[in-house]
Amino acid sequence: MTVNTDDRAAHAGDWPFVLTNKETDVHNHPGSHLFLLYYIFYSDCRNRKKKMFGFRADGRRISDIDPIVQITPYLMPMRCDAQVFLQHEVDYEMLTRYIAEQMKKDERITFMQIIVAAYVRAVSQHPEVNRFIMNKQFYSRNNCTVSFTILKDYQNAQGGETAVKIKFDPTDTIYEVRDRMIDTIDNNRGLGPQNFADRLASFVLKIPGLATLVVALVRLLDRYGLLPGAFLDALPFHTGMFITNNASIGLHHVNHHIYNFGSTSLFFGMGLLEKKAVVENGKTRMKRFLPIGITADERVCSGAFYAEFFADMEKYLNHPELLETPPESVRYDKHAEYHVPKAPRKQIEGKA
């Protein structure tokens, strides 16, 4: 299914309930946490009365795929069974020049933001990669999400860290991707629990045995598609891609495992720069590259779809200027179209 981006305004509607810091600030004791969980589940059940079998709050079940692909979850029931490891090198010097050119326009862009923007754009053209598997069934994700971990105080690692998740619109430009990332980072920085996932984890760990019970319950509800949408929105492990920037803490790139908990299908691990000998114009020189370790769930789609997806990502990483304008059209899986409201453009400095 292909949608012209000029028609996206016609799809504005009611957006799902999202937990914000303001809404959770008043829930500071165990009783209110339990009430909040009940409210989320009750509200979501009311909103989903008319949904048929095969629907989840974060996706829709699909079955029109090749049988050899469709049977792989039965052969490899867990994501750790189906991990495929890839390596990619980004031209650091070329991206550095692009970032410097953007600075002249008063636009601050980071390497991580370029990678995320390239992912969002590639997903807009290859929805097959944005699928996930739950309970051996294939689902088309009804969102484009990226999760990552941030330091609560970027100047002090002792301040702790938290995981965040961001929803992107498939028509987002690199500037809109940057703005969404910076807003989320700013809203989740600061000492103490800053988001619902932090607050829930802090609460359940205070009572012996409760964490085991809650996680088991969440796994069970998730397995059968009964987790409320607001709850899924707050969990960073239910995402299309998880990315980590090891270079920011002085570490090399890794091929990070993908979690069995949640629905993560891709994990990108950035690392410290590497120098390699290259031949240019008949001369050999040392060139700097930004290495990325990629871990993928091979069950999600065929290798041919993955190849097209990564080829597009490489194109956008080599030509980030293509990300400055929206795509001409967006491809969606059948009955899986989604949109995220646009925020006003702004020029701000960010750290990602």
Residue 252 inside a domain? The answer is yes
267-304 pLDDT, tens per residue? 999 999 999 999 998 999 999 999 999 999 999 999 99
Beta carbons of 28 and 198 less than 8 angstroms apart:
no
CATH code, 153: 3.30.559.10
Answer whether residue 206 is part of any domain: no
Residue 164 located in a structural domain: yes
Specify if 50 maps to a domain. no
Residue 53, class by beta-carbon neighbours within 10 Å (0-12 exposed, 13-18 middle, 19+ buried)? exposed
Q: Quote the CA–CA distance of 276 and 138 in Å, as a whole number.
A: 41
* Residue 204, domain member (yes or no): no
Domain assignment present for 24 = no
pLDDT at residue number 198: 86
Q: What percent of the chain has pLDDT over 70?
A: 82
Determine the average pLDDT of the residues in 320-344: 93
The pLDDT value given to residue 2: 67
Residue 138 structural domain: 59-188+236-317
**12 — pLDDT class (breaks 50, 70, 90):** very low
Is 88 part of any domain? Answer: yes
Q: How many domains does one find in the chain?
A: 1
The share of the chain scoring above pLDDT 90, in percent, equals: 67
Strands 266-270 vs 241-245: parallel, antiparallel or unpaired: parallel
Report the pLDDT value the prediction gives residue 345, as an integer from 0 to 100: 72
Among the listed residues 123, 131, 85, the one whose alpha carbon sits nearest the alpha carbon of residue 268: 85
**Per-residue pLDDT at 51:** 47
Q: What are the φ and ψ backbone dihedral angles of 299, each rounded to 5 degrees? A: -75, -20
User: Counting beta carbons within 10 angstroms of the beta carbon of residue 12, is it exposed (0 to 12), middle (13 to 18) or buried (19 or more)?
Assistant: exposed
Q: Which of 231, 204, 185, 201 is nearest to 40 (CA)?
A: 231
Question: Which residues are within 8 A (CB) of 6 and not within 5 positions of it... i.e. 6 or more apart?
Answer: none
Encode pLDDT of 18-53 as tens digits: 344 444 444 445 455 555 555 555 555 555 444 445
Residue 52 domain-assigned (yes or no): no
- Above 50 in pLDDT, residue 11? no
Q: What are the beta bridge partners of residue 243?
A: 148, 268
**What is the model's pLDDT at position 190?**
76
